[in-house]
Each structure stands twice: as C-alpha cells, then as structure tokens.
Structure 1
Amino acid sequence: MPGVESNGRNRVREQGSAVAWVESPLQLLCAVEARHAGLTGPRVRVVTRGRLPGLRVTRAELGALDLPEGLDIETADDRLPRPGRRDTWVLGDAFSGRVQLTSLTAFPSRMVVVDDGLATIRLLELLAAGFGAPLLRARAKAASSRRALGIATGIRLRAAARAGRLTIFTALPVPAGLAEAVRGLGAELVTHDFPWLRSQPVATHPRPPENTVVLGTSLVRNGLIHRDRYLDWLFALEGPLAYYPHRREDPGDLAAVRGHPGVTVYDAGVPVEMTLRDLRPGQRVLSLPSTAVTSLRVLLAARGVPVETVDVPDDWWTPSASVSLRSHLQMFAHERATP
C-alpha cells in the first residue's frame, strides 16, 4: 500500500475485528491510519478516553473527513475496553498503568502499537533491551510494585513478538540498529507517512498568513527547561509569528504568549499534523524537540517547507532533565535551528 512500508513478516490480513484505546489526539490519528493500512481487520472500534478536550475536538475534526470504512469512534468514561481473544488490540500508550494491567489478563489475537510521541522509540529500546527491562516512562520514579508491572508487561509484549502477534506502527524514523533488534524479537515494524491524512481535504484549516510558525512545547510545564529562557527566545524571534500551542502547555505561559506583540496564537486543539499540512514554500516551522517535527517533515517535505528543530542550549535545561533524557528528546533533531 502506498505510504506504508513493512518488513513483510507476520502481515495482518483483513479479517477479524479490533478494539483501540487512545488517550491523545496523535494516538487517535494513528489509529485511523492503522485501519487505513489494513492492520486492524475490516472493523475497528476506536474508544477515546473521556473528558479530554483535545480528543473531543480531534474526534469532531475526523468526523468531518472521509474515515476509512469499518471504523467507528466512541468515547468512554476512562474505562479501558478489554479486547476479546479473537480481537486485534490497538493501543498507543504502552506505559500506561491501566494498559499494562489489562495486558496481563487479556489475550487478544494480536497487538498493534501506534505512535505516542517519542515514547514509542523508548518502548522499542526497552523491548530490545531484553528480559528484565521494565516498561516505564523515561522520567518515571517507580515503586517496586510499578516496576514489577512494567517487567511483567515487557515479558508479555516480547512473548507476543516471538509468536508473531505484535506490530509496531510508526511514522517515526527508527534507527537502523534498533529496527533490526525489534524485528529480531519477531515483531513486525510498519512505517507510514500518513497516507490517509494526506488524501483528505485541508480546507477546514486554512494555513496561517505568517511566514514563521512556532510549535509550542510541554518541556516548560514538565519542568525540563527554564520558562524564562524559552520565552526570551520566543519573543526575540523576528515576527510576525504564528504560534501553535502544545496541548499540555501551561495556561499562564500561553497567556503571556498571547499578550506579546507580533505573535498570533492558533489554538485549534487538534494535532498540528492536521492543521499545518497546507503550508507553502516561503513558510517555515520552528520547534523544540518533539514528535511533531518528524511527522511534519514527512507531510511537508514535498511542499518544500522546512521544519527546523531548535537545539536546546545547556543553560535551558533544569536539573530534572538527565543527560540520557536530553539525548532521547533530541535524537531526531535534524535540520536544526540555532536559538
């Protein structure tokens, strides 16, 4: 299928049904792409976590487009649906405690992991690390019980890979050595460039008139970079600027950005992969390290629109950002821009 590449092993056939559990707009978008790619069978029930504004808005946006046949989206009140033994289970956040608990007692016919940001690469690294590596987030300070759950989940996912029942579906550029290690486990690694999304009309989100588009970041709110360093850099950029906030950006920080002359905030509440895919030559995108950098490069390369990553200076980082975490966050920082 155009736009999708697989190593050709254990390819899912168009049979059976699937249930997907998604907790972020990107996971939701990638679940739709997985159905388009034929990884879920002819029918998939996509269940979104309730009470999350970004998911509600994204669901509404997707509903106005030509969704793949056999895909239904519904919202649950934070109750994770259990896949049956004949189901394909589609999930985004393999580090979620609820997902991990479910994985120990559910026995789906196969599992498909879709993108959840750079956490997807960390998942692959931990799976490739072998027995005993707990599936925990990069910054997690876990109790022994939580570590035990992460270890058990890792065992289950590696067993699924050995049995040919695990597929990783990603738009991220997986380093060659890591891809080889994951495939060596028996997992299928399928990459894509958002072919379904690229086939959809873009009229619902006209491109911004500003030539420079800046993507917001969660690094400030997560305590990984200093707020003043980030805002000083942003406000020193030559304007006018179009600013697209991160869904977890602090409201106070966003208010400061809104109040700065020369900056227009576009708060659509849906993934930038959906809102910025109509940019034209002469425009550019600036961003601190994020998954969106990679996906926008995929979507905008043919349009001649550069997507540049800002190299984070050492004095921006807080003590909470370990050297290994910094390296992980910046692993895809190609086409860099200097702050």
Structure 2
Amino acid sequence: MSAPDGIPPADTLAFVESPVQLLNVLEWAHDQPHGEPQDGAGSVPAQRTSGSDLRRALPGPLDMVVVVLAPHDPMTRGQLRRMAELARDQGHRLRWEEARGSAAAPLRTVGSLAGPLRAARRVVIGDPFSRYVQLLLTLARPRELVVVDDGTATMEFVAQLARGERFVRWHRPCGGRGARDLVFAPVSASARRMLTPNDHRSVHLFTSMPVEPPPGVTVTANGFAWTRATFGPPRLTRSTDLVGTSLVETGVVEGERYLEAVGALAAAHGATRYFAHRRESTDKLRLIAGRLGLEVVRPELPLELVARRGPMGRTVLSFPSTVVHTLPLALAGTDVTVAVCDVDPSWLTAHASSRAQGFLSRVTGSARHVRRLPQMSAPARTT
C-alpha cells in the first residue's frame, strides 16, 4: 500500500500506529456531526445549535487525513492494512507511511509531515506515549488536540497527565532512566505541555475507559456506535471463547504461569477457541494449540469488529485487558457475557514494574458490564 508523494491539506490530521487506534479514530469521526462550522478565522463558534438545525448548519464530511505510521510487526501491519481498507470504504483519506522502514525513514517522514502539521487546525493521536507521536507534536500548532483510545494505556496516560508526571508506559520499570530517555526528555516534556489545555488550544479525550481527566480536558464517551451500526449482530455459538493477552511479551507475566492459567481457565469454563493478541509470539501460540488443545484464531481485525461480525461464543473470557471495557460496548444488545479473571500476583515476573499489579487490578475493578470470576490460585509448579 504505497502512498502518493505529499499530503493533501486537511483541517484534521490523525496519526495512528495500531489497528485499535485506527478503529477508534473511525469511531471518533463517526461521532462528529459532519464537521465543525467555522468562522472566517477558522475558529469554532462558541454557540451551537442542536438536532436537525445543527445538521443543516454543518458543512460536508469531516476534512481529515489519517496518517498510518507503519510499525515493523507483521501481525500489526496486516490488521492495519485491513483497517485502512475499511477506513477508505468510509470515505476517509489515508496515507501509509513506512515510518520505520530504514535509518533515514524517520527523518523523511517527519520532514514530509512538517508542513501539514503546522497547517492543521486539529490533530488526533492514538498513542501519547509514542516517541514518534511526541516528536511530531513538537511541529504542530493545533487549536484542538484529540486523544483517542490506545487501549487501557489511556487510563495511565490520563493519571500521569493529571499528576504532571513524565509519560511512562505502565509495564515499564519506573526507576532509572536510560540514555535514550534522557536524550528524549525535552521532546517528552514538550508533548506533555501540548497535551495540557490553555487559552490557545483545547484538549479532548475520546475514550471507552473510566478516567478522571485533569481540569480543562473534556471527555467524550466512545460507545462503539460506528462498529455496532456497521457490523452484526453476530451469530452466537454455544461455546466459550478465550481472549489472549501480550502480558508475557511485555515482560509482566511468566510464560509458563500464563500457559498454566490459560489451560486451567479453559478447562473450568469449557473454552474451545483462543483469540490471539496481535503481539503474541508464534512459539507461545503453538504451545496453546498443541499442549492445551485450543483452536488459536489470529484475527485480521481488532476483536471488537471480529466479535460483531461473528460467530462468537456466548461467553468470552479474558484476563485484564482492553477488551473487558470495549467488548461489552461493541456487543451491547447481544446475549454475549464477558467475564474477566484477575492475574494472580505470583504470576508476575521478577522484572515486572512495581505498578503492574495495581494497574491490572484497576483495569479489572473499573470494568463495567462484565462478570468477575473468582481469582484463580497460582498453579502449582511441577518438578
């Protein structure tokens, strides 16, 4: 999927690096009332009408270009390509950037985006923790900045923004700072200032997560209206499905403990299918299929879309992850039950962040419309 040279001018630029981010940009765009009316200076009037009067007053489709900052991971790239096709089907303009394709790629990408970034009135981002996105924000002068969900990381981002802390992903150790962190610190600090609203710039959050934003940041709930309007409802099977996580790959949970927990959970609830996370390793998935006997499904789209398209089990099991917040919304009006099992503290690796257990507990405890399963005891080790 090659992109033409240059980016066409647009009122809104959106930057995504994962399929979930692109899905949530589509949800945000669907939530917009056909674009924003502007006065001669390009600002949004303070007073708005409502209902049919608003729809008549607004101009045409949202003037937006979505820039995909393509990652290396093959599974992520595959899902992004499928999501890009869906976005184009919805009439959105996309630019696919091989932003990490070579040593010169970042410089070339940033250079090509500098002009459009300075001209855009609104910038939409999916991952405020991304160094790539933080670097691009230093070039932007938006009057409006929108953050859409990148999963449960949104919860940690909002908490850190409210406390005025530097942005650190929850699963990374928060102790020392490496050389790259120190070099990049000024850019990160600049991004944090950009994400703080002031008299010249508004900051909005479009999220399905339970958050308490800092003063001045407005929140719009993501109810997955576009997903529900576009797909489904799904055909339901009598079986139980289990959703995988990348907790092993991110160094939070020990691999063998995770396999034992998956096996015990599947046996206790009769799960037959395992929906793999896009970042799960091939070796781990091979063990889940071979040792545990589960049918491993590697989705071509985010699970929210896969679930709406069906077929789907009447019960979906998950460890703490984004889907315990998003699937109940995407599957609203169906008879699917989403159930969540907490991570036992003894499953954590010795290198897991000191914040990991608290964050995972918060993910589970704040989930709405899910069934809480009793915490499984840590499987006994065999010698």
For residues 63 and 203 of structure 2, the distance between their equivalents in structure 1, rounded to whole angstroms, comes to: 19
Contact kept, 8 Å, 2:240 with 2:273, in 1: the verdict is yes
CA distance in 1: counterparts of 2:21 and 2:372, whole angstroms: 26
Report the residue type matching 2:202 in the other structure: R
Which of 307, 324, 331 pairs up with 1:293? Answer: 324
The amino acid across from 1:169 in the alignment is: F
CA contact (8 A) 1:279 1:300 kept: no
Q: Distance in 2 between matches of 1:74 and 1:208?
A: 36
In 2, Cα distance between the equivalents of 1:298 and 1:208?
Answer: 17
Which 5+ residue runs of structure 2 have no aligned equivalent? 1-9, 37-61, 100-108, 366-370, 377-383
Q: Secondary structure at the match of 1:107?
A: coil
Structure 1 window deviating more from structure 2 (33-42 vs 306-315): it is 33-42
Residues 146-155 or 112-121, more deviating: 146-155
Q: Equivalent of 1:36, from 17, 24, 30?
A: 30
Q: Deviation at 1:207? A: 5.5
Per the alignment, residue 192 of structure 1 pairs with: 222
User: Which residue in 2 is equivalent to 1:283?
Assistant: 314
**What is the distance in 2 between the residues matched to 1:148 and 1:245?**
37
Q: Distance in 2 between matches of 1:241 and 1:202?
A: 22
Q: Distance in 2 between matches of 1:93 and 1:86?
A: 18
**Residue 73 (str. 1) matches residue 94 (str. 2):** yes
Partners of 2:313 and 2:169 in 1: CA distance: 38
1:137 correspondence with 2:157: no
The alpha-carbon distance between structure 1 residues 199 and 301, as it changes in their structure 2 partners (threshold 3 A), is: closer
Q: Figure out how many residues of one structure are paired with residues of the other and give that number.
A: 311
- Conserved in 1, the CA contact under 8 Å of 2:82 and 2:301? no
Q: Deviations along 1:153-197, whole A, 9 cap, x unmatched?
A: 212221x355452111111122xxx23xx2x2x122111211011
Other-structure match for 1:336:
372
Q: Given the alignment, which residue of 159, 168, 193 partners 1:155?
A: 193
- What secondary structure is seen at the aligned counterpart in 1 of 2:320? coil
Matched residue SS, 1:45: strand
Is 1:201 paired with 2:235?
no
Q: Aligned partners of 1:120 and 1:219: how far apart in 2? A: 17
Q: Give the Cα separation in 1 of the matches to 2:137 and 2:312.
A: 46
Could you say which structure has the larger radius of gyration?
A: 2
Query: Alpha carbons of 1:269 and 1:281: their partners in 2 closer, same or farther (altered >3 Å)?
Result: closer
What is the Cα deviation at residue 134 of structure 1? 1.3
Give the TM-score, by structure 2 length: 0.74
8 Å CA contact 2:236–2:314 kept in 1: the answer is no
1:289–1:329: 8 Å Cα contact kept in structure 2? yes
- Residue 26 (structure 1) shift: 0.4
Aligned to 1:170: 207
Query: What is the CA–CA distance in structure 2 between the aligned matches of 1:149 and 1:249, rounded to whole Å?
Result: 30
Aligned to 1:60: 82
Paired residue secondary structure (2:261): helix
* Distance in structure 1 (CA, Å) of the matches to 2:149 and 2:306: 18
Amino acid at match of 2:13: V
1:327 matched residue in structure 2: 358
Aligned position for 1:18: 12
- Paired with 1:74 and 1:256, the residues of 2 have a C-alpha distance of 38
The equivalent residue for 2:54 is none
Identical positions, percent: 30
Asked if the contact 2:244/2:276 (under 8 Å) is kept, the reply is yes
* Distance in structure 2 (CA, Å) of the matches to 1:118 and 1:108: 26
Alignment CA distance shift 1:193-1:129 (3 Å): same
Shift of 1:214: 0.8
Quote the Cα distance in structure 2 between the aligned partners of 1:245 and 1:221: 12
CA separation of 1:104 and 1:57: change in aligned 2, threshold 3 A? closer
Instruction: Find the residue that maps to 2:230 and give its secondary structure.
Output: coil
Q: Over aligned residue pairs, what C-alpha RMSD do you find?
A: 2.6
Residues in 1 aligned to 2:167 and 2:323: alpha-carbon distance in whole angstroms: 23
Cα offsets for 1:101-158 (capped at 9, x unmatched): 222232123211111111111111111113xx21222215533333343223212221
Mapped to 2, the partners of 1:44 and 1:254 lie a distance apart of: 38
Match of 1:119 in 2: 153
Residue identity opposite 1:145 in structure 2: V
Per the alignment, in what secondary structure is the counterpart of residue 364 of structure 2? coil
Instruction: Out of 161-170 and 117-126, give the one that drifted further.
Output: 161-170
**1:113–1:169 Cα contact (<8 Å) kept:** yes
- Where structure 1 has 5 or more consecutive residues not aligned to the other structure, the ranges are 1-15
Alignment match, 2:68? 48
CA contact (8 A) 1:48 1:55 kept: no
